[in-house]
Amino acid sequence: MQTLFNDSETFQKERPTEPKEEQLEEFYLKMAKEIKKEGFSDSSENAIIKDLQNLYPFNDNGFEMAKELESYSAHAVYEIDTTFCEWLDSLWYEYNSIKTDNVKAWVKAHNPQPKFEKGTKLVINKNLCYKKDVGQTVFVTGINTEQAYYLIDENENRQGGTVLAYERVEDCCSVA
């Protein structure tokens, strides 16, 4: 059976960095329903959704987010306790899992291949990221093909490092 176009043409050419609008709507509705189900609020889902939208960008500190939900600008009323703060801690993870799934689908559609191998010594030619200076030498300490990113570090023997997209590293670095 012949398809009209291949899968790579149905996905965007650039790496997705943010969830799509429909995904955000589903995410906010799911979280609002969960807040109500867990008994953290009796307010309407719409009021909770407005508050969650005002929390964006999410941080990984549920206590700080709870303080924002206690403010006068909140649309809903919440039962704030340590359990709710812990639940809010996971909000950042839930949001990021949408982005991770999008990247995995993008990788599956485009199958990008790394240009550098693990152990490759690189020199940074352009501004790469925070705390990595132009002219600095780094090593590829790992590769994640599922999400198309490198792990780089100054220490050649490190297990891990700074996580950066293939295209970012390949654009800003060259083999030393």
Tell me if 150 sits within 8 A of 142, measured CB to CB.
Answer: yes
Q: How much is the average pLDDT of 102-109?
A: 95
- The pLDDT score that the predictor gives to residue 12 is 61
Give the pLDDT confidence of 26-45 residue by residue, as tens digits: 999 999 999 999 999 999 99
Q: How much is the average pLDDT of 70-88?
A: 94
DSSP-H helix ranges across the chain: 21-37, 45-55, 62-69, 82-89, 91-110, 166-172
**Burial track 10-37 (b if 16+ CB lie within 10 A, e otherwise):** eeeeebbeebeeebbeebbeebbeebbe
- The pLDDT score that the predictor gives to residue 61 is 92
Residue 109 has pLDDT above 70, yes or no: yes
Residue 8 has pLDDT above 80, yes or no: no
pTM beyond cutoff 0.95 = no
Residue whose entry in the numeric block shows the structure tokens 């800003």: 172
Give the pLDDT confidence of 127-141 residue by residue, as tens digits: 998 889 999 999 999
